[in-house]
Amino acid sequence: MSETPVSEMSFETAMAELNEVVSKLERGDVALEDSIALYERGAALKAHCEAKLKEAEEKVEKITVGPDGAAAGTTKAEGV
């Protein structure tokens, strides 16, 4: 488990650590106090990943095509 603050992690690093946390909790071979700490770390990692995904969604743009088939510009993607 990383000692890196969650807020400083990239999406990919946070997801990898979240997967480790879930695996450890699912195995059930962790002491109760450690399980609580893992759960809290996992909750923070999940929230961080969700925030990073939301940021990415807000940056997504849809390329618009003109009548001649060439790119005519961009518009905000639907549902964002």
Q: What is the pLDDT along the chain (80 residues), one digit of tens a residue?
A: 778 999 999 999 999 999 999 999 999 999 999 999 999 999 999 999 999 998 887 776 666 677 787 777 767 666 55
pLDDT at site 78: 62
Q: Which residue, 49, 48, 34, 50, is CA-closest to 1?
A: 34
> For residue 73, what pLDDT is reported?
72
For 6-64, CATH gives 1.10.287
pLDDT for 46 equals 98
C-alpha 18/C-alpha 71 separation (Å) is: 39
Instruction: In whole angstroms, give the CA distance from residue 9 to residue 5.
Output: 7
